[in-house]
Chain A
């Protein structure tokens, strides 16, 4: 592997990191709304959020990418740039899973906490913001950090339908011109591992630390 090839791979790594961060940002916002909707007292809203989550979880990410890439061109008549389409698809997909994680964290906050907040005369929003969410964040942080690994890995297929140039794309490009699959896919795997593994370990460490009370 020469310097130029290594530079190519690092360029791909940058694409992967950008897409992962955008996904986590927008996916997080959508997932937060979904998680709150999912436990809303209004049954139709709850049903809508549950349906969204069920449908998205039953469709492969590649198909969602196709819909998000070709769909806007039909509705609005304009072409989506690759990064925008990839971010949209990843957001739609990741939010469905993240919403489930956060919903279960909200519901894992002991029932008396909800009741006590109500007894103190807090409004629904005050109760969520000052009592429930701070405790839910503690519960949901380890699985959320773990889920970031999933997001990073999922970006690797953004080049297939959408043609977004991420790490996997450059690795394939380099392999196509040099025929050294072990070298380039091995290097790509190593780069993915380097950014994912600390998150995996972090997730486990956090789980041990934040769960100290229940040990």
Chain B
């Protein structure tokens, strides 16, 4: 084995790497927020909407969950640009991610919403809570609490798969790394550093979700049950 590892050539690019990290986190942040909103609305529609709405949502979920993200992103981004839509590539990438993660969130949140017992809703009605209060306190929060680990796992994966969007030209961490490779020819070192960076990022995202869980579900904290 005569290969000389040369990490210094790669680490010299750290300001560039840092901008990539920020883009990755930005993509993950916005697609998590909007994807959660979209998924929760779809889950509501899927559990209590009209029959036709339920069908539409079911088709959306099945189509997205049975096709790869990269094809969805190509279809959306190259497709829209072929009919003349011009927008910053990051917006298109975020939209592709939101549509993708929305479908997964729908399924997870549906499981949560369906686990809320009917007696809970009746009790809420007896206590005189209005529709909105019932939704927030009786349906949404307990549902989310139950599926929180699954949601967290899905959103950590989401952060990791933002790397795929480098292939449509988004300059996030993986895209930056591609640039560094072509300048240094240090492919292996770049990938090792990249793996380490993503590992740290995923731990960071997990930690953020843990803190968020503590804030969102104080009941859990008081009961002392793990999230």
Contacts and interface: CB of A to CB of B under 8 A. Distances in A.
Contacts of A171: 71, 74
A168 B68 contact: yes
Q: Which of B66, B69, B174, B199 has the most CB of A within 10 A?
A: B66
Interface in A31-46: none
Interface string A151-192: 001101100100000001001100100011110011011001
B167 A59 contact: no
Interface in B1-55: 1-3
Contact of A156 (B70, B79, B82): B70
Nearest to B5: A74
Interface of B: 1-3, 62-63, 65-72, 74-75, 78-79, 81-82, 156, 160-161, 163-164, 166-167, 174, 187-188, 190-192, 194-195, 198-199, 202-203
A55 interface: yes
For the residues of A in contact with B, the DSSP-based class is helix
B66 A66 contact: no
Contacts of A70: 187-188, 191
Nearest to B80: A181
Contact of B188 (A61, A71, A157, A172): A71
Interface stretch (A101-109, A115-123, A129-137, A193-201): A193-201
8 contacts: A58-B156, A60-B163, A75-B1, A153-B69, A157-B167, A160-B167, A168-B74, A181-B78
B195 A193 contact: no
B195 A64 contact: yes
A205 interface: no
B74 A172 contact: yes
Contact of B67 (A62, A157, A160, A189): A189
Contact of A188 (B2, B71, B190): B71
A192 B188 contact: no
Interface in A51-77: 55, 57-64, 66-67, 70-71, 73-75, 77
Nearest to A182: B79
Given A63-B163, A189-B67, A196-B67, 4 more contacts: A58-B199, A63-B174, A70-B191, A185-B79
B195 A153 contact: no
Contact of A60 (B67, B75, B160): B160
Residues of B contacting A: mostly: helix
A67 B198 CA distance: 13
A103 to B, nearest CB: 15
Nearest to B75: A185
A189 B71 contact: yes
Given A66-B187, A171-B74, A181-B75, A59 B195 contact: yes
B152 to A, nearest CB: 12
Contacts of A63: 163, 174, 191, 194-195, 198
Nearest to B70: A156
Given A59-B199, A66-B191, A179 B82 contact: yes
Nearest to B192: A67
